[in-house]
Amino acid sequence: MEFATISKILMLISLCSISNAADQRQRVLEFHADCLEVHDVDEKILVEALEGKLDHDEDFYKHVFCVCKKAKIIDDNGVVNTDNFEIDMAHVIDASNMDNVASIVRKCLVQKDDIMTTITEASDCFLREKHNL
User: Which pTM was predicted?
Assistant: 0.79
Q: What is the per-residue pLDDT across 70-84, written as a single tens digit (0 to 9) for each? A: 999 999 999 999 999
Domain 3-128 - what CATH class? mainly alpha
Q: What is the per-residue pLDDT across 81-132, written as a single tens digit (0 to 9) for each? A: 999 989 998 888 888 888 999 999 999 999 999 999 999 999 999 889 988 7
How far is residue 15 from each of residues 12, 20, 27, 81, measured CA to CA in Å? 5, 9, 18, 36
Break the chain into its structural domains and give their ranges.
3-128
Percent of the chain with pLDDT over 90: 38
**Alpha-carbon gap, residue 8 to 39, rounded angstroms:** 46
Residue 1: strand, helix, or coil: coil
Specify the pLDDT at position 3: 53
